[in-house]
Chains A and B, each alone.
Chain A
């Protein structure tokens, strides 16, 4: 199974050596979210303005007087990254139109975690997508409120034990299914939606570059393994991301103008147990619960296959 397409060049030819998200930030060891942010920053280069939500990436990168950002960056609050980016985009557009700022291609990026996107920020995001601002919104999904101490969000997967959905004697962890944010974004009929994971860096970078080229709103949902919150050794971050994709738990795909396409089709899904068993947050799962998860993953994957078939090109 090859998700990263074979190439004849080394990765450094495909991804710039330049870093716009500087090292020395305060993220935990093995933080795949910081890795994803770094890759996104490499993909977008220097002509970008970033609006960040409150959360892990904000606190680790901006403790005054330090900053990890070599590009212009603004943080206002938790739930409003999409709205702040809307203002940045609209303000810059009108300043260029009026000749107050020289015309130049600038990418506008909003970024937030899963809580800042699928819970508290979903209204501001929906508004910005509906209004059609020319920007990219990236959700770095580590599947819980990690910054405040691993509380559950609507993006926490079924069965996961968190500090507000603990694996108790009666209720064994999170009892709801993960909210499908990429589909919610796609329901706004925006030009581009994609999923990505930093375990597949070239795929991630390509999608971010594509999103930057497309006019109008783009939404990218990046699964970002959190060793601290998922209770796994930092050295397994990349592996966990790959297993999420190979088991079908987190399929890699994109939706371009309504057309679905797998960017890494898995011909034979690995058993979800391989993904679950390396993570402490799923340690308590019964065989029955694992079976329930397995069925759901296959069902969702098949649903996605049908969408791909239905919307395939002529």
Chain B
């Protein structure tokens, strides 16, 4: 077992990147991502990590540099938040199509405007369809473990796709948590060297990023989506083996006290830990309630989600992002699609809350639960959702 120490989640994330022995880090500072890249530059400048730290002039270049790094067969890491993600958006899509297994931590922060540095999921939801594998983390330990998991999955020759680890800005990035480090031999056992099939090298010239004329474009896109869908098998294996090595087992969908529960909360990211306490409190009062946490966002684990919610009568989906003019938050929209025409389809209520760092406390979640129970009596329509905790609403 590795050392267990109290450390800010950003710093332990950077330490995991060090343990993954990355070759290049290209990054541009943006709150709340900064502590991660600051610590990485320290590790490089102190000689604790043999890598190139490339202090680029924008996030657009951070992702472009990472593309070049990955194309020559080197291990690339970058990290950003909100506006930085928006600026690099163009390249985020391209690197997925080029099958470059870059790993990025997204310290989730609200998209402007109004400008805000605080946490929600509007940044990641803006690139939902970018073709990356996307996972959420509940706590610092998950972030640490998932960095090593990320390279293992992304660089697998069956997958070869970039991967985003979402961690809630400030709520996770800036808190100190106990984190169990891995031992070097555990990393060696779990994470092989990056060995892509094609790299840029004069001895084996290849052309990367050619023009896709209409006669090949659709085939190229299907050839990109298929490995993303199929990557779920590799993801499950990688989490299983991670558990076998360090004793912590992760799954695409996590459940907490769902047994016999009539009503299930559905969350992503750090809300999960708060809601688990709410579930305990409500259960103590005799309510039949449990929690489903979505860890794997893309590819969406349809089977696992349907199985986890198969016995529930009611779902309370908590979104931390808006789909303007749409049918609730992005998570609720996906879940409604996933369960459509299924047997015993549950009532699905949806609350959008916690935008731009507004606290959502245990009491708030209790209120949400009671509101949901009232709504269900009214037989809610599919497009119903509610902004929770907004003044004047």
Residues of chain A touching chain B, judged by Cβ–Cβ distance below 8 Å, are 46-49, 51, 58-59, 62-67, 69-77, 79-80, 83-95, 97-98, 100-101, 104, 106, 123-124, 126-128, 130-131
**Contact flag A74-B74 (CB < 8 Å), given A88-B200, A91-B24:** no
- Shortest Cβ distance from B51 into chain A, in angstroms? 6
Question: Can you list 12 pairs linking A and B with CB atoms under 8 Å apart?
Answer: A58-B211, A64-B210, A64-B213, A74-B207, A76-B95, A77-B64, A77-B90, A77-B91, A83-B60, A90-B52, A91-B71, A128-B61
A69 touches B207 (CB 8 A): yes
* Most chain B beta-carbon contacts within 10 A, residue among A84, A91, A104, A128: A91
A84 touches B50 (CB 8 A): no
Q: B94 contacts which chain A residues (CB < 8 A)?
A: 76-77
Q: B66 contacts which chain A residues (CB < 8 A)?
A: 87
Q: B90 contacts which chain A residues (CB < 8 A)?
A: 77
* Most chain B beta-carbon contacts within 10 A, residue among A76, A88, A124: A76
Residue of A nearest to B213 (CB): A63
- Beyond A62-B211, A87-B68, A91-B70, 14 extra complex contacts between A and B, CB < 8 Å: A64-B211, A70-B205, A72-B205, A77-B94, A79-B60, A80-B91, A89-B68, A90-B65, A91-B23, A98-B23, A98-B50, A106-B202, A123-B61, A127-B61
B212 touches A64 (CB 8 A): yes
A95 touches B74 (CB 8 A): yes
Q: B67 contacts which chain A residues (CB < 8 A)?
A: 74, 76, 84, 87
Q: Mark B171-194, 1 if CB is under 8 A from A, else 0.
A: 000000000000000000000010
- Shortest Cβ distance from B223 into chain A, in angstroms? 12
A124 touches B57 (CB 8 A): yes
- Shortest Cβ distance from B310 into chain A, in angstroms? 44
B202 touches A48 (CB 8 A): yes
- Shortest Cβ distance from A126 into chain B, in angstroms? 7
**Contact flag A62-B54 (CB < 8 Å), given A85-B68, A91-B68:** no
How distant is the Cα of A85 from the Cα of B76 in the complex, in angstroms? 14
Flag whether B36 is at the interface (Cβ < 8 A).
no
Among B50, B76, B208, B211, point to the contact of A87 (Cβ < 8 A). B76
- Shortest Cβ distance from A148 into chain B, in angstroms? 14
Flag whether B26 is at the interface (Cβ < 8 A).
yes
How distant is the Cα of A149 from the Cα of B241 in the complex, in angstroms? 55
**Contact flag A76-B64 (CB < 8 Å), given A67-B207, A127-B58:** yes
A76 touches B209 (CB 8 A): yes
Among B26, B64, B202, point to the contact of A71 (Cβ < 8 A). B202
A73 touches B208 (CB 8 A): yes
Flag whether B115 is at the interface (Cβ < 8 A).
no
Q: A69 contacts which chain B residues (CB < 8 A)?
A: 205, 207
A83 touches B201 (CB 8 A): no
Residue of B nearest to A81 (CB): B64
**Contact flag A87-B65 (CB < 8 Å), given A62-B211, A76-B94, A97-B50:** yes
Q: Mark B71-89, 1 if CB is under 8 A from A, else 0.
A: 1111010000000000000
A74 touches B208 (CB 8 A): yes
Flag whether B98 is at the interface (Cβ < 8 A).
yes
**Contact flag A80-B61 (CB < 8 Å), given A47-B202, A95-B73:** yes
Among B23, B51, B76, B201, point to the contact of A72 (Cβ < 8 A). B201
Residue of B nearest to A47 (CB): B202
Residue of A nearest to B93 (CB): A77
A74 touches B55 (CB 8 A): no
Q: Mark B349-367, 1 if CB is under 8 A from A, else 0.
A: 0000000000000000000
Flag whether B245 is at the interface (Cβ < 8 A).
no
A88 touches B72 (CB 8 A): yes
A75 touches B210 (CB 8 A): yes
Q: B202 contacts which chain A residues (CB < 8 A)?
A: 46-49, 71-72, 104, 106
Flag whether B69 is at the interface (Cβ < 8 A).
yes
B71 touches A87 (CB 8 A): yes
- Shortest Cβ distance from B221 into chain A, in angstroms? 13
B207 touches A62 (CB 8 A): yes
A91 touches B57 (CB 8 A): no
Among B55, B58, B204, point to the contact of A123 (Cβ < 8 A). B58
B60 touches A80 (CB 8 A): yes
How distant is the Cα of A64 from the Cα of B98 in the complex, in angstroms? 13
A88 touches B68 (CB 8 A): yes
- Shortest Cβ distance from A59 into chain B, in angstroms? 5
- Shortest Cβ distance from B131 into chain A, in angstroms? 15
How distant is the Cα of A94 from the Cα of B205 in the complex, in angstroms? 20
A101 touches B201 (CB 8 A): yes
Q: Mark B188-230, 1 if CB is under 8 A from A, else 0.
A: 0000010000001110111111111100100010000000000
How distant is the Cα of A9 from the Cα of B50 in the complex, in angstroms? 49
A101 touches B73 (CB 8 A): yes
Q: A84 contacts which chain B residues (CB < 8 A)?
A: 64-65, 67-68, 71
A73 touches B98 (CB 8 A): no
A94 touches B64 (CB 8 A): no
Q: A51 contacts which chain B residues (CB < 8 A)?
A: 68
How distant is the Cα of A51 from the Cα of B64 in the complex, in angstroms? 11
**Contact flag A87-B54 (CB < 8 Å), given A73-B207, A80-B60:** yes
**Contact flag A92-B72 (CB < 8 Å), given A64-B211, A64-B213:** yes
Q: Mark B7-29, 1 if CB is under 8 A from A, else 0.
A: 00000000000000001101000
* Most chain A beta-carbon contacts within 10 A, residue among B55, B72, B94, B205: B72
